[in-house]
Amino acid sequence: MQQPLNSYGIVAYTWLNALGARTYRAPEATSPWLLEGTGLRPAAELPFATHWGPVTTTLPPMPPEVAGHRSRCSQLLWASLRALEGDIRGAISRWGPERVAVVIGSSTGGIDVTEQVIALEHRGEPRPDDYDFDAVHPFGALLQMARRALGFAGPGYVVSTACSSSGKAMAAAQRLLEANLCDAVITGGADALCQMTLRGFSGLGILSDDLCRPFDVTRNGINIGEGSALLLLDRAARVPLRLLSAGESNDAFHTTAPHPEGLGARLALEAALRLAGLEPAQVDYVNAHGTGTRQNDSAEALALATTLGPAVTYSSTKDRVGHQLGAAGATEAGFCLEALSAQRIPGNRPGTRVDPELAAPPVSDSRPAPLRTTLSNSFAFGGSNVAVALGVATPEAESAARDRIVPGHVWVEAVGFWTPGYPHLRALLAGTADPELRRPPAALLPARARGRASLLTRVFAELYEQIAPPERPELPLVCGSASGEMATTLALLDQLAQGEPLSPAGFQASVHNTAAGVISIALGDRSFSTALAAGVDTWAMSLLEATAWLSVHGGRVAVLVADEDAPTRLTRRPPYPAAGAALLLQRAPEPPATALARLEKFERHAPGGLGGGEERRAREELDDRVPGLAAAPASQGFPLLRALVERREGRYAVGDAWSVHVVPTDASTR
């Protein structure tokens, strides 16, 4: 059985939302000012009634060097980064820029600017001269902004698993520290209000027309909010507030509805307890996901009662700030940290008429209480679940800290590839094209799901089919995509610009983790999965996330990286085709296949670097096969994939700043 993970000190945290802004630095005391009241108010400029939670604080101006990153999400994230700027620069000074990581969660990214551009297009008006799709829309834009503004040079990626994004970002941050891949991490999340989100949730019929009422007998839906929240974790910090663990799971049930028995939620809670070395009775308070929908609240209360007992102490704080989507997990972790510091439980919405059919009732009123350990739940589209454990340090826990893991080799069992005309990597290398092959068969998916799936989801499913072990075990899954479900998103934005109702099916399939959810449902796989983006380094960061998982948990991981055709309608970049690539990795004591050493930074144009003739020839070969293929994000790993298939030792570039060493063994890679 796996040993508990080390806890990591929270040097500082900050958040801004509908209640204002707040920054904490250890070991200062806090007041429970954010545990009371609500910042929600009636929404404006919508054709339906609801309440929302806009940020009430004036946002600081963006620095000149990142002024092009003008999405609302980037502005919110910058406000939080600026609040922690001194702490972050201190960590960079202490550890070096390459040992400080940034892992952010977001669900919508810069979609608000793309909404405006599409609306201008439909009115026949020109887009702004300074519009740069790559600086505003993709999740990688958030990373670019953070790096340029503050000098991060370590690992960096955005986790985008809808409403569990920032909770899972905190889980990833702990793994990076545990696996000795960094020494400090800035983690959390940011999301902004936008028309597509508001109208999409309205189309699903789950927006409340009034203030949301989590766990109330009269509850009828959610309120949407916006905000950002960040935590700075440091491996050497001896501070009272700590990240203990994060448990992750999949429902494997439905793309938007929770498992009615809360099965996935229970698995996440159990994993959080196990990884923190906690017994259920040691949990003093749970900040519930508590959205205010009939299904979520019933299933979550059942999961809490089943896992922690019918006397569990829990509440929802979404009536204070709204559901902040990708930022919700980090914001609600902040509520837990405030509760721990103030030794006060935030009660459920005042006046709650508790649903008598709930398996356990929430705490009705805020009250003082001795708190040492809390949990914060976040559940999402695609059945993605995370439960984050936060607590107060004890001398016993600190003295019991284990040595961190030193990452070794991981082993490659299988390689996958797909692009139009080439059903697998060996066909591409041989130049044997099938001109009729325009869409992957994706036989893994049931016929109905296959018919509804986007091209991107079909590519992901095809890649999984190519590399998965024949016995189909539960298999942790990392899905990387630089741009995600762009075709689906653009179709929704066209509907929005034309004044049409948004397609409910399209909206729920527009999230970045759509493919991960569809695959888990098709296979009934409730194990870990994630979806991430990192621009040109998406391949490298997908490998890093998988390496960290294997270092901490062992076993196998499937790594799938794919993107659709370039969104040439919005970008100035040359077109590229849809493409995807995959690896099946494992951490084993004996080498069953080709080994990969750890990822390392490199200088592309340094003497002896990896940006030379061999890499150029590889990219030219790709473009000879399929015009534009070398520019596809999934092709950033092509030199590595070819080396694996051809069993060639060497160090190969993966993206713009990372490389990996291939070490062939006597076994073959399928």
Q: Please tell me the distance from the alpha carbon of residue 292 to that of residue 201, in angstroms, as a whole number.
A: 13
Whether residue 62 contacts residue 70, with contact meaning beta carbons closer than 8 Å, is answered with: yes
Instruction: Tell how strand 156-159 and strand 529-533 pair up.
Output: antiparallel
Whole-number Å distance between alpha carbons of 93 and 651 = 29
> Which of 94, 73, 93, 91 is CA-nearest to residue 145?
73
Whether the CB-CB separation of 579 and 423 falls below 8 Å is answered with no
> What SS3 state is found at 32?
coil
What is the dihedral angle through the alpha carbons of 338, 342, 343, 344, rounded to the nearest 10 degrees?
-70
Closest CA to 180 of 582, 471, 490, 544: 544
- Whole-angstrom distance, CA of residue 426 vs CA of residue 404: 39
Do residues 283 and 375 make contact, with C-beta atoms less than 8 angstroms apart? yes
CA distances, 618 to each of 478, 526, 622 (Å): 25, 38, 6
CA distance to 261, 566, 598, per residue, from 660 (Å): 43, 26, 6
Structure tokens at 426: 């060996």
Position of tokens 């454990």?
389
10 Å Cβ neighbour count for 340? 22
Sign of CA dihedral 457, 460, 465, 469: negative
User: Which CA distances in Å does 439 have to 378, 423, 447?
Assistant: 34, 9, 15
Q: Could you tell me the strand order of the sheet in which 224-225 lies?
A: 41-42, 51-53, 224-225
- Alpha helix (H) ranges present in 290-434? 294-308, 318-321, 328-342, 395-399, 425-430
SS3 category, 415? strand
Complete DSSP assignment for 218-278: T---B-EE-EEEEEEEETT---SEEEEEEEEEE--S-SSSPPTT-HHHHHHHHHHHHHHT-
Give the CA angle between residues 169, 170, 176 to the nearest 5°. Answer: 90
User: CB count, 10 Å around CB of 667?
Assistant: 16
Helix, coil or strand: residue 571: coil
| Bridge partners of residue 12, in order along the sequence | 25, 232
How big, in percent rounded to 5, are the helix, strand and coil portions of the chain? Answer: 35, 20, 40
The contacts of residue 591 (CB under 8 Å, 6+ apart) are 409, 411, 665, 667
Question: Which residue numbers are catalytic?
Answer: 163, 289, 323
Q: Are 632 and 375 in contact (CB under 8 A)?
A: no
